[in-house]
Amino acid sequence: QKEVEQDPGPLSVPEGAIVSLNCTYSNSAFQYFMWYRQYSRKGPELLMYTYSSGNKEDGRFTAQVDKSSKYISLFIRDSQPSDSATYLCAMSEGSSYKLIFGSGTRLLVRP
């Protein structure tokens, strides 16, 4: 079993839709949770960062962490074609340099 599981997609939605991207994990010691966005042929860039459980909102993006279920989500409201990318979740125990990445979900937002 992988430490972090993420549906590879692709997920295709019409412009303006609400998108839900998810990851599950098995290591209960993970405390820091991140979402990276990766455009085609580019390196990942940090989108959202949360610590422990709860929600965090930044513009059209909301990150949720449910540690009891070992489940994290990224919601994108009013999705735009420019949101078309691969979204990678990443997590860490915090005391370590080591980030564990999910395999990424490819999102396509149709105009």
Chain contacts with other proteins (rule: CB under 8 A):
2, 4, 6, 8, 32, 36, 41-46, 49, 51, 88, 90, 92-104
Query: For tokens 């279920």, what's the residue?
Result: 69
Q: Where are the alpha helices (DSSP H) in the chain?
A: none
Closest CB to other proteins among residues 51, 71: 51
| Closer by beta carbon to other proteins, 8 or else 16 | 8
Looking at the Cβ atoms of 37 and 79, the one nearer to other proteins is 37
Q: Comparing C-alpha atoms, which of 24, 27, 29 is closest to residue 94?
A: 29
- And the tokens for 61? 């993006």
